């Protein structure tokens, strides 16, 4: 959702939270990209799930062996310059921690400002309607 990210970058987001069940390596690349693109810290919390955590009447395509990993984790914390500060955490449950140097935000944004002059406001605009709306109408 690049336009959503752009709207959030324009609001000055410092910490991008991205919960997911996507345990592919490509997700790690996306998290590093978002950190670089938005010059923000990224925290991606990913599930770790084994078959034995599900009810017995559920039969996942990966198999019914109790120790079968269904979602492999991959939680990660990334700096505003795309450096992995912690993780990815795989193959089990756990807690990631990292010390965030908030001065990294200013240093990273000095290098690149995604919604500043690099965004070419003379050519491109993004208008966001932030008004409250019903999700269902006409019922």
7-63 pLDDT, tens digit per residue, is 899 899 999 999 999 999 899 999 999 999 999 999 999 999 999 999 999 999 998
What number does CATH give the domain 2-117?
Answer: 3.60.110.10
| pTM listed for this prediction | 0.82
Cα angle, residue 15 at apex, residues 24 and 29 outer, rounded to 5°: 25
| Residue 37 pLDDT | 93
Classify burial at 55, counting beta carbons within 10 Å of its beta carbon; exposed 0-12, middle 13-18, buried 19 or more.
exposed
- Name the band, by pLDDT with cuts 50, 70 and 90, for residue 138: confident
Hey, which residues does 76 pair with through a beta bridge? Answer: 44
Residue pair 58/65 in contact (Cβ under 8 Å)? The answer is: no
Considering the chain, what is the average pLDDT of its residues? 90
Read off the tokens for 15: 């910490």
């Amino acid at each position: 959702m690049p336009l959503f990210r752009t709207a959030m970058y324009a609001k000055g987001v410092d910490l991008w939270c991205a919960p997911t069940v996507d345990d592919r390596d490509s997700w790690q690349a996306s998290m590093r990209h978002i950190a670089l693109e938005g010059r923000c810290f990224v925290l991606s919390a990913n599930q770790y799930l084994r078959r034995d955590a599900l009810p017995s009447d559920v039969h996942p395509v990966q198999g019914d062996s109790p120790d079968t990993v269904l979602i492999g984790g991959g939680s990660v914390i990334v700096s505003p310059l795309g450096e992995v500060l912690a993780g990815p955490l795989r193959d089990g449950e756990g807690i990631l921690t990292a010390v965030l140097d908030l001065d990294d935000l200013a240093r990273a944004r000095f290098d690149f400002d995604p919604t500043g002059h690099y965004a070419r406001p003379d050519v491109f605009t993004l208008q966001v309607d932030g008004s409250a709306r019903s999700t269902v109408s006409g019922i």
